[in-house]
Amino acid sequence: MSEPILEVSGVAKTFILHLREGAKLPVVEGAGFDLHAGECVALGGPSGAGKSSLLKMVYGNYRVDAGAIRVRDGEETVDVATTAPRRLIKLRDTTMGYVSQFLRVIPRVGALDVVAEPLVHDGVPVAQARARAGALLARLNLPERLWQLPPATFSGGEQQRVNIARGLIAHRPLLLMDEPTASLDAANRGVVVELIEEKKRAGVGILGIFHDTEVREAVCDRVIDVTSFGRAAA
């Protein structure tokens, strides 16, 4: 097999609750797994097991107490656990995408441009980026009358589709997905399953949280049980 795109090893994290007299809440300990190009891996385990925390550590939003999170970036390997913030931002710009449940709305920017933006960032001409954004929004059944409007007032499911389109439009070799189908109906869940399968065929490695069993079974090659990472009793 090829070299992994993501290698997590010995990762540990304990939350310190400053408002609770510094109480310690261990979340994961000794977390380790690999992710290869073209593979989709789900983080599994019951509510509170630490799935979101681990995903946020991989993206670099949560600091880790120990261990390494190595992401392959072309010829280089970047350890998210220790790299400088600037390098992390560069890694996110080119290599590591994130599709969260919620859209961070950009004020006054219409849905089409919100979706096209990562392509424009990559140097694709604006007209071409908008055309691709429109094609993706059409696939996700977002009515064309909404495309020019800022998504702030969209329904939860509409915002989530804008978010998915924005997260999937550009090629990023590693994609992190946090419940990408949480507010979607069956038809749109099916479209997201297709889009994820296309990403896998394009060699993208995907790490995600998929509570929807049908979606998880359709797209994931493996499930990693986060409870196996020795979370001590709180």
What track of x and - describes contact with ligand ATP for positions 19 through 38 (by CB under 6 A)?
------x-x-----------
Token pair recorded at residue 224? 């990693």
Cα–Cα distance measured from residue 173 to residue 114, given in angstroms and rounded to the nearest whole number: 21
Q: Decide if residue 213 touches ligand ATP (CB under 6 A).
A: no
Token pair recorded at residue 101? 């449940």
- Cβ distance to ligand ATP smaller for residue 11 or 140: 11
Which one of 10, 15, 68, 105 is in contact with ligand ATP (CB under 6 A)?
15
Instruction: Please answer whether residues 36 and 5 qualify as being in contact, where contact means their C-beta atoms are separated by less than 8 angstroms.
Output: yes
Q: Decide if residue 126 touches ligand ATP (CB under 6 A).
A: no
Spatial CA neighbour of 7 closest among 67, 58, 71? 71
Which one of 5, 40, 52, 78 is in contact with ligand ATP (CB under 6 A)?
52
- Cβ distance to ligand ATP smaller for residue 135 or 232: 232
Shortest distance, CB of residue 108 to ligand ATP, whole angstroms? 31
Q: Decide if residue 95 touches ligand ATP (CB under 6 A).
A: no
Cα–Cα distance measured from residue 174 to residue 195, given in angstroms and rounded to the nearest whole number: 15
Which one of 29, 39, 40, 50 is in contact with ligand ATP (CB under 6 A)?
50
CA distances from 54 to 88, 110, 151, 184 (A): 17, 32, 29, 24
Which among 40-48, 73-81, 102-110, 137-145 is the span making contact with ligand ATP, rule CB under 6 A? Answer: 40-48
Instruction: Find all residues with CB under 8 Å of 43, minimum gap 6, and list them.
Output: 51, 54, 55, 207, 208, 209, 223, 224, 226
Instruction: Find all residues with CB under 8 Å of 5, minimum gap 6, and list them.
Output: 35, 36, 37, 71, 72, 173, 174, 205
- Cβ distance to ligand ATP smaller for residue 132 or 216: 216
Q: Return the residues of window 140-159 that contact ligand ATP according to CB under 6 A.
A: none
Which one of 24, 30, 48, 135 is in contact with ligand ATP (CB under 6 A)?
48
Which residues of this protein are in contact with ligand ATP, per CB under 6 A?
Answer: 15, 25, 27, 45, 47-53
